[in-house]
A and B are shown apart, each in its own frame.
Chain A
């Protein structure tokens, strides 16, 4: 509800803000071209513009320009690492309830991560991926309309949590039980919910990006005032699909926000081996789209950046790239031990010195909206709630075995009907080998 109110309030402010954002971009571009100008024989206005169809804004020049770098894009920040507001004009225009909900969701996500990570270590679930260090991306979910479509990668459980995916739903998916919306077919953390406009996660990287562009185009054509939010990591940005997506979104003017969680690592590969140049953000400018770089550990900066991006997407029907700079505090997944490629101290330093949860908590405390007592009571309530959901999900049966054959197509095909029958007969013939007691009864 809060999200809706703020979104509407902000939509009113669109024209002035959008205009303000554009000159800022051109100013920095002008500053750079001035420095190049001194090398040129004549000022740009006196030189002839090219008429090649592929570069209409370029001028002819007698100076051979070999350019390696552009001005690095700044990183937008609202709070410092102590949660102190850096500029009073940036004070988030939010209610206490709205801010506290974001913070509580960050805590819940953290609690859920801790318990499911431990559960995997104990062999209770087969796999898990934590969000540690990146919880501030919940700020991006808070800036969206609940009907904006989300295409995630796999480390965005917090956006689902914000939208109202329940702890039970999370746990049911991780336990692949009969209540899992995905019917137990995918590994843990591959969540999805039609009701919450969150497309089901798939493991291959970057595949969701061009899909997001297509979805956004369809939404634009439908006339709905919504956009698509597409999350991915800086590693995925090396895939061809990333480049295909940005280009096609840009040329089709699709209302999509590409949100890059640049957490510094793709499993073991550090960002400096992943790409050269000014991060992922510089690619956005290259594809001719509005681009923002933001402190990804600063909830309010992420919130503000997403708000502005959403306005550009929905009001101007243009794609936007946001690069949120952060640090992956956890291992890549439970199959990974990051101490093999980075020092524990580095991780501890990040945890201690720039913790998005601590920053948000301090901001709330400065506002007088949160205190130690609330923290303690909330944390203990939450832990109980998570554990309760966890135990309930663990107890539930797996989906009925015949669910294996459904949803391959809209209806069972002849080969699947035959194979289903074959399996039924096998299970009947060898009940001791095919123990189905842990699976739901066939309907």
Chain B
């Protein structure tokens, strides 16, 4: 039976428990060698058994370990998958949130527009009443005054009018016209977009912020877009820690910008009007300008760019009209730039922001809305310290910058009517400091005559510097006294503005004087 069982099963476990007497009776009488032999065999049998058992355990363990590893991998994969899914969902949520925010903003804007329209409507409704009452009190309204502001029966825009600029040949109205400029080679294959000057400036700052994580834009009222709308949307796009309002303190703004720049950051600071830059004069003239020089090149504030609206607008009076470029041009270490149009403003501003010297960027505020061009949407810079020849000519060199160029353009046309065939080389100086002596002197060496015009008062205006340099370098080529056309030497007078600034007539007279000497 036992044998039969052996045949049927591989392993048979038989529980034997021999008594002590039986074990001694089996072994008793045997030779000690035999007993030893039996013991040895028994030991080797058990050794075999134990090693087999250990191997089996080992294999089991390995199998378990493999399984654990597999499970772990599976778990990881699942976690990853879940995470990815979660991320996607979160992204969706963010998008939805943003959409909601956009929509509510739109709603806000719409309701603001609505309320503005309502006010307008109410005002229109009230107007006849008001006029009636006025007529009742005083039947004759002075008509010539009406010509001044009331022609459109609306207030003058804050940044003023500049009639005729829309037809200026200096303005690039088309895509091809804009890109014909060799200085724009880097964006010649890119798109252009219709922008006015404040939009172009906004675009430049947007690019500066996007391409430089250290860049910040700050100043009085910049967070809501600035009083001239140059910083519109930047706070929303780049965050309030990068585009922010400062307290009302120009010296604070300039000093703060210097500090940021000293740490290697890019500071794009706005002084609300150039007329209000004087509290910052000490910071700019004594600090920013001398930062590198006084430290032997240890430190510099190259990352500082101060933007400020300047120039006449028709109704700015003493403190919203000045052009203080010459004050800063008297300061070694600063750069001073004045753009004439949207394309120029964008490229020059980007260059001014990235230039490794503190730069004052004066924006002729009358051009903010009046000048509209097809501006390249890409990232481009225009050279600082380099003038641009706008029209080539052989009889007379005319130098100007900013909004004055459009007056000069008209004056040249007027003079050409009187003097047919007159050939004028018109130069936009663009950088006041350092200024492009070479371009101007080369031109005067060719023409022999020079006229310079600017809005700032004549005495110690920047034309004085240009005139003396040209006199030094082109003395023998000059065929007529250098003409300086500038505002009269008085504070900027509100009601006399049209008599004060060097207008078309005065500039044309200057051209005639130079030609008929």
Which of chain A's residues have a CB closer than 8 A to the CB of B115? 339, 344
Q: Are A268 and B489 in contact (CB under 8 A)?
A: no
Which of chain B's residues have a CB closer than 8 A to the CB of A404? 488, 490, 493, 496, 499-500
- Asked whether any CB of chain B lies closer than 8 Å to the CB of A23, the reply is no
The contact string, 1 if C-beta is below 8 Å from chain A, for chain B 141-175, is 11011101111111110100000000000000000
Q: Are B319 and A202 in contact (CB under 8 A)?
A: yes
- Asked whether any CB of chain A lies closer than 8 Å to the CB of B252, the reply is yes
- Asked whether any CB of chain A lies closer than 8 Å to the CB of B263, the reply is no
User: What's the minimum C-beta distance from B341 to chain A, rounded to whole angstroms?
Assistant: 24
- Identify 10 residue pairs between A and B in the complex whose beta-carbon atoms are under 8 Å apart, listed by A's number: A118-B123, A118-B130, A121-B123, A122-B154, A123-B151, A184-B493, A185-B495, A205-B276, A241-B279, A266-B221
Which of chain B's residues have a CB closer than 8 A to the CB of A204? 275-276, 278-279, 319
Q: Are B315 and A127 in contact (CB under 8 A)?
A: yes
Q: Are A185 and B491 in contact (CB under 8 A)?
A: yes
Interface size class of B (residues with CB under 8 A): 35 or more
Which of chain A's residues have a CB closer than 8 A to the CB of B499? 401, 404, 423, 427, 434
Q: Are B489 and A408 in contact (CB under 8 A)?
A: yes
- Minimum-distance CB pairs A-B, first 5: A391-B138, A184-B495, A238-B247, A203-B319, A126-B315
The contact string, 1 if C-beta is below 8 Å from chain B, for chain A 164-190, is 000000000001100000001111001
Interfacial residues, chain B to chain A (CB-CB below 8 A): 112, 115-116, 123, 126-127, 130, 133-134, 136-138, 140-142, 144-146, 148-156, 158, 220-221, 223-225, 227, 245, 247-252, 275-276, 278-279, 314-320, 458-459, 488-491, 493-496, 498-500, 505-506, 509
Known: A122-B150, A187-B318. 14 other contacts (CB 8 A): A115-B130, A122-B127, A123-B153, A187-B316, A239-B248, A266-B221, A267-B227, A339-B112, A387-B137, A388-B137, A390-B138, A391-B134, A395-B142, A427-B499
The contact string, 1 if C-beta is below 8 Å from chain B, for chain A 381-395, is 001100110111011
Q: Are B247 and A274 in contact (CB under 8 A)?
A: yes
User: What's the minimum C-beta distance from B157 to chain A, rounded to whole angstroms?
Assistant: 9
Q: A267-B221, A394-B145, A395-B140 are in contact. Are A416 and B275 (CB under 8 A)?
A: no
Q: A238-B247, A387-B138 are in contact. Are A186 and B490 (CB under 8 A)?
A: no
The distance in angstroms between the C-alpha atoms of A341 and B458, with both chains bound, is 41
Q: Are B144 and A437 in contact (CB under 8 A)?
A: yes
Which of chain B's residues have a CB closer than 8 A to the CB of A235? 247-248
- Residue among B136, B144, B225, B496 with most chain A CB within 10 A: B496
Pick the residue among A121, A339, A391, A399 that contacts B154 (CB under 8 A).
Answer: A121
Q: Are B221 and A268 in contact (CB under 8 A)?
A: yes
Q: Which of A422-443 contact B (CB under 8 A)?
A: 423, 426-427, 430, 433-435, 437-438
Which of chain A's residues have a CB closer than 8 A to the CB of B137? 384, 387-388, 390-391
Q: Which of A335-366 contact B (CB under 8 A)?
A: 335-337, 339-341, 344
Which of chain A's residues have a CB closer than 8 A to the CB of B154? 121-123
Q: Are B248 and A394 in contact (CB under 8 A)?
A: no
The distance in angstroms between the C-alpha atoms of A115 and B133, with both chains bound, is 11
| Closest A residue, CB atoms, query B492 | A185
| Closest B residue, CB atoms, query A400 | B496
Q: Are B149 and A126 in contact (CB under 8 A)?
A: yes
Q: Are A203 and B275 in contact (CB under 8 A)?
A: yes
User: What's the minimum C-beta distance from A236 to chain B, rounded to whole angstroms?
Assistant: 7
Pick the residue among A118, A126, A205 that contacts B156 (CB under 8 A).
Answer: A126
Pick the residue among B155, B276, B319 that contacts A123 (CB under 8 A).
Answer: B155
Q: Which of A222-241 contact B (CB under 8 A)?
A: 235-236, 238-241
The distance in angstroms between the C-alpha atoms of A344 and B111, with both chains bound, is 10
Q: Are B149 and A387 in contact (CB under 8 A)?
A: no
| Closest A residue, CB atoms, query B130 | A118
- Asked whether any CB of chain B lies closer than 8 Å to the CB of A398, the reply is yes
Q: Are B249 and A387 in contact (CB under 8 A)?
A: no
User: What's the minimum C-beta distance from A303 to chain B, rounded to whole angstroms?
Assistant: 28
Q: Are B319 and A274 in contact (CB under 8 A)?
A: no
